[in-house]
C-alpha cells in the first residue's frame, strides 16, 4: 500500500471525512475485520451473513487507522456512497502512482486461479510480485489486491472474473493491464451471459483494454479465444498444447508430448521460439497443461528466460485450496478434493484425471450440481453423467436435488456397470461409501462452490482411521 492520509482518501473517494485528516494509512486495506492490522484501512461491507459496520470498532481496536463505511460508525471513518466504487478509486489512484509496475490480467472460464498462481511463481523470479490469494477477482478482491502494491512492487498478476458484460472492462479501468491472458471460453456462468458467444464477448474485454505496446496472450486451441486477436491493439502471442492425433503445431509457446504419471501429474516438452525444455508439473490433471503454458507465455513476455520458466514450472505448487488436491489415506485410498467449483469443462477435466488415477483400482465420483448454467443446466448435468459413465466409474453419487440429472445421463450408457446413487447431502454420500472403499480406490469430490463439498473430502480422508487431515483453511470468498 502506498501511504495515504485520511484527507487524501476522502478526496479520492469523494467521501466525508470523520477523523484526523493527517492520519496516515500505511497498512493493508481489508474487508475482513479479522484481518485488520496496524496502519490499515477497514472497508465495511454488508455481506450475506454479517455487516462489516458492526465490526468497525473491532477493526480499529486491532490497529486499523480508519474505516471506509456507508453509514456512521463510532470510530474514525470516511463515509462513502458505495464501498466497491471507493475501493476502485483508491486502487486506481494508487496504481497510477506506481508507473513502474507491470500489470498482467488473466481471464477465462476455467483455470484462472491455477494460471495466476503458477504465473506468480514464475514472475516472482523477476522481481517483487503481488498476486491475490485464492480467487480475489471481483469488484472487492481486485482493488484490494491492487492496493497491496507499493514502491517496491514490479509486477501485478491479477485474476479477472466476469459475471456479465462490462465487468472485466471495469476491472481493467481500475488497474490497466499491459499483458492479458485469455485461457478459454466455457460454460462457467454461461447461463447468466446467455451463451458462449456472449461469454467470449465479455472475456475479450481484457484484450480490448490492452495498449499497443502490450501483449495479448491467447489460447490458439480455443477458436473463440483466438478470434479475440481481432479485438486488440496489442501484439498477439499464442499458446497451446500439441494434439498428438491432429498434429496441430500452431501456437508460438506450446506443450508437446504430454504424458501423465500415476498420480496424473503431467510431463511435457515446452516449445518456445528460444528453444525447448522438459517440464514436470506438481499439479494433478492434464487440464493444468494449458494453464502452465499460458503462465509460461506470460512470464516470457515479462522477460523470464526459458531455463527459469521450465525450472519454475517444475517447482510450482497449487497455492489455492481445493483444486485437484490429491491425498492418500493410510489404507491406500486416494481422495481428489476438487470441490472449489464446478462447470462442465472442469468436471470433465476432473473425471479424466480420476480415470487416470484409478487405473489400478476403482474410481468413485461424488458430484454436486454445477451452478449458473441457465437453460442448458439439465442437459449439461446429463452430459456430465454420460461422460462419467463412459469413464467406467465404479460408483457415481449425485449430491442434492439439482445434481440428480447426472444419474439420468449416466443411465444412457447401457454398457456401464457401475452403481449410481442420489443422496440429499454430503453426509449421506459419506455414509454410502463407508466400508466400501479398498486400497487403490480413488474418490473424486466436486461441485459448485455453493455445495461446500470440500468438507466431504476432508471427512473421507480422516474416516477409516486415515492419516492426513488437511488443515482447514480460512474460507475463500465466493467470487470466481
Ligand X SMILES: Nc1ncnc2c1ncn2[C@@H]1O[C@H](COP(=O)(O)OP(=O)(O)O)[C@@H](O)[C@H]1O
**Sign of the dihedral defined by the CA atoms of residues 192, 196, 198, 202, in that order:** positive
Using alpha carbons, list the distances in angstroms from residue 424 to 213, 248, 297, 420, 428: 54, 45, 44, 14, 7
| 345 lies in the site for ligand X, by CB under 6 A | yes
| 338 lies in the site for ligand X, by CB under 6 A | yes
Nearest in space to 282 (alpha carbons), one of 308, 253, 307, 260:
260
Q: Give the shortest CB-293-to-ligand X separation in angstroms.
A: 10
Q: Give the shortest CB-35-to-ligand X separation in angstroms.
A: 21
Which one of 48-56, 86-94, 108-116, 163-171 is the stretch in contact with ligand X (CB under 6 A)? 108-116
Interacting residue with ligand X among 77, 110, 121, 337 (CB under 6 A):
110
Distance of alpha carbon 408 from alpha carbon 220, whole angstroms: 35
Distance of alpha carbon 180 from alpha carbon 467, whole angstroms: 42
Cβ neighbours of residue 265 closer than 8 Å, sequence gap 6 or more: 280, 281, 282, 283, 284
Distance of alpha carbon 453 from alpha carbon 427, whole angstroms: 10
Nearest in space to 441 (alpha carbons), one of 347, 361, 330, 379:
361
Interacting residue with Mg ion among 13, 135, 272, 288 (CB under 5 A):
135
CB nearer to ligand X: give 134 or 385. Answer: 134
Which of Mg ion, ligand X, none has residue 380 at its interface (CB below 5 to 8 Å by kind)?
A: none
Which of Mg ion, ligand X, none has residue 349 at its interface (CB below 5 to 8 Å by kind)?
A: ligand X
CB nearer to ligand X: give 141 or 290. Answer: 290
CB nearer to ligand X: give 18 or 348. Answer: 348
* Interface positions, 399-418, toward Mg ion (CB under 5 A): none
- Cβ atoms 225, 184 nearer than 8 A: yes
Q: Give the shortest CB-464-to-Mg ion separation in angstroms.
A: 32
Interacting residue with ligand X among 189, 300, 323, 356 (CB under 6 A):
323
Which of Mg ion, ligand X, none has residue 350 at its interface (CB below 5 to 8 Å by kind)?
A: ligand X
| 122 lies in the site for ligand X, by CB under 6 A | no
Q: Give the shortest CB-367-to-ligand X separation in angstroms.
A: 12
Distance of alpha carbon 112 from alpha carbon 288, whole angstroms: 11
CB nearer to ligand X: give 33 or 184. Answer: 184
Binding mask 165-184 for ligand X (x = CB under 6 A): ------------------xx
Cβ neighbours of residue 153 closer than 8 Å, sequence gap 6 or more: 98, 101, 128, 129, 130
Interstrand relation of 266-272 and 253-260 (parallel, antiparallel or unpaired): antiparallel
| 448 lies in the site for ligand X, by CB under 6 A | no
The residue number with the shortest CB distance to ligand X is 111
Q: How many helices (H) and strands (E) does the chain have?
A: 17, 22
Q: Give the shortest CB-320-to-Mg ion separation in angstroms.
A: 7
Distance of alpha carbon 403 from alpha carbon 102, whole angstroms: 43
Binding residue count for ligand X, defined by CB under 6 A: 22
* Interface positions, 348-377, toward ligand X (CB under 6 A): 349-350
| 106 lies in the site for ligand X, by CB under 6 A | no
| 291 lies in the site for ligand X, by CB under 6 A | yes
| 221 lies in the site for ligand X, by CB under 6 A | no
Q: Give the shortest CB-172-to-ligand X separation in angstroms.
A: 17
Nearest in space to 180 (alpha carbons), one of 87, 275, 108, 75:
108
**Sign of the dihedral defined by the CA atoms of residues 32, 161, 106, 12, in that order:** negative
Interacting residue with ligand X among 40, 105, 111, 240 (CB under 6 A):
111
* Interface positions, 67-126, toward Mg ion (CB under 5 A): 112-113
Mark out the alpha helices in 276-376 (DSSP H runs).
288-301, 306-315, 344-357
Which one of 66-74, 134-142, 309-317, 420-428 is the stretch in contact with Mg ion (CB under 5 A)? 134-142
Residue 161 grid cell? 472474473
Nearest in space to 241 (alpha carbons), one of 201, 202, 281:
281
Which of Mg ion, ligand X, none has residue 420 at its interface (CB below 5 to 8 Å by kind)?
A: none
Q: Left if phi > 0, otherwise alpha if psi is -120 to 50, otherwise beta: which for 404?
A: alpha
Q: Give the shortest CB-41-to-Mg ion separation in angstroms.
A: 25
Which of Mg ion, ligand X, none has residue 422 at its interface (CB below 5 to 8 Å by kind)?
A: none
- Cβ atoms 361, 397 nearer than 8 A: no
Q: Give the shortest CB-212-to-Mg ion separation in angstroms.
A: 29
Q: Give the shortest CB-195-to-ligand X separation in angstroms.
A: 19
Interstrand relation of 395-399 and 419-423 (parallel, antiparallel or unpaired): parallel
Q: Return residues touching ligand X (CB under 6 A).
A: 110-114, 135, 183-184, 285, 287, 290-291, 323-324, 338, 340-341, 345-346, 349-350, 480
Q: Return residues touching Mg ion (CB under 5 A).
A: 112-113, 135, 480
Amino acid at each position: 500500500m502506498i501511504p495515504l492520509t485520511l484527507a487524501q482518501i476522502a478526496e479520492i473517494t469523494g467521501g466525508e471525512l470523520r477523523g484526523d485528516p493527517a492520519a496516515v494509512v500505511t497498512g493493508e486495506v481489508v474487508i475482513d475485520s479479522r484481518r485488520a492490522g496496524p496502519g490499515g484501512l477497514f472497508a465495511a461491507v454488508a455481506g450475506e451473513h454479517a455487516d462489516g459496520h458492526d465490526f468497525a470498532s473491532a477493526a480499529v481496536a486491532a490497529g486499523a487507522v480508519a474505516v471506509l463505511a456507508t453509514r456512521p460508525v463510532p470510530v474514525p471513518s470516511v463515509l462513502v456512497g458505495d464501498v466497491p466504487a471507493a475501493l476502485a478509486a483508491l486502487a486506481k489512484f494508487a496504481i497510477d502512482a506506481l508507473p513502474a509496475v507491470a500489470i498482467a490480467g488473466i481471464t477465462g472460464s476455467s483455470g484462472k486461479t491455477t494460471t495466476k498462481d503458477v504465473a506468480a511463481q514464475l514472475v516472482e523470479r523477476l522481481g517483487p510480485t503481488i498476486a491475490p490469494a485464492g480467487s480475489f477477482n471481483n469488484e472487492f478482491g481486485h482493488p484490494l489486491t491492487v492496493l497491496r502494491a507499493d514502491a517496491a512492487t514490479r509486477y501485478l498478476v491479477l485474476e479477472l472474473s466476469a459475471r456479465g458484460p462490462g465487468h472485466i472492462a471495469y476491472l481493467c479501468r481500475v488497474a490497466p493491464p499491459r499483458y492479458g491472458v485469455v485461457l478459454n471460453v466455457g460454460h462457467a456462468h454461461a447461463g447468466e451471459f446467455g451463451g458462449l458467444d456472449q461469454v467470449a464477448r465479455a472475456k475479450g474485454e481484457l484484450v480490448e483494454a490492452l495498449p499497443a505496446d502490450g501483449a495479448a496472450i491467447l489460447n490458439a486451441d480455443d477458436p473463440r479465444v483466438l478470434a479475440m486477436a481481432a479485438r486488440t491493439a496489442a501484439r498477439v502471442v499464442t499458446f497451446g498444447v500439441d494434439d498428438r492425433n491432429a498434429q496441430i503445431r500452431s501456437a508460438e509457446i506450446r506443450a508437446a508430448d504430454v504424458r501423465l504419471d500415476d498420480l496424473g501429474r503431467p510431463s511435457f516438452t515446452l516449445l518456445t521460439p528460444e528453444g525447448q525444455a522438459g517440464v514436470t508439473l506438481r499439479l494433478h490433471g492434464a487440464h493444468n497443461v494449458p494453464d502452465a503454458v499460458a503462465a509460461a507465455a506470460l512470464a516470457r513476455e515479462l522477460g523470464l528466460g526459458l531455463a527459469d520458466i521450465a525450472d519454475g514450472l517444475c517447482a510450482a505448487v497449487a497455492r489455492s485450496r481445493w483444486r485437484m488436491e490429491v491425498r492418500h489415506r493410510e489404507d491406500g485410498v486416494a481422495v481428489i478434493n476438487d470441490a472449489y467449483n464446478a462447470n462442465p469443462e472442469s468436471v470433465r477435466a476432473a473425471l479424466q484425471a480420476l480415470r487416470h488415477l484409478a487405473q489400478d483400482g476403482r474410481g468413485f465420483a461424488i458430484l454436486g450440481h454445477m451452478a449458473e448454467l441457465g437453460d442448458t443446466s439439465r442437459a449439461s448435468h446429463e452430459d456430465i453423467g454420460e461422460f462419467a459413465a463412459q469413464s467406467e466409474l465404479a460408483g457415481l453419487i449425485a449430491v442434492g436435488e439439482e445434481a440428480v440429472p447426472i444419474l439420468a445421463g449416466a443411465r444412457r450408457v447401457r454398457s456401464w456397470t457401475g452403481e449410481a446413487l442420489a443422496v440429499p447431502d454430503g453426509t449421506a454420500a459419506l455414509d454410502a461409501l463407508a466400508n466400501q472403499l479398498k486400497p487403490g480406490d480413488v474418490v473424486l469430490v466436486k461441485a459448485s462452490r455453493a455445495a461446500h463439498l470440500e468438507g466431504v473430502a476432508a471427512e473421507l480422508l480422516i474416516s477409516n482411521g486415515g492419516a492426513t487431515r488437511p488443515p482447514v483453511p480460512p474460507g475463500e470468498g465466493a467470487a470466481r
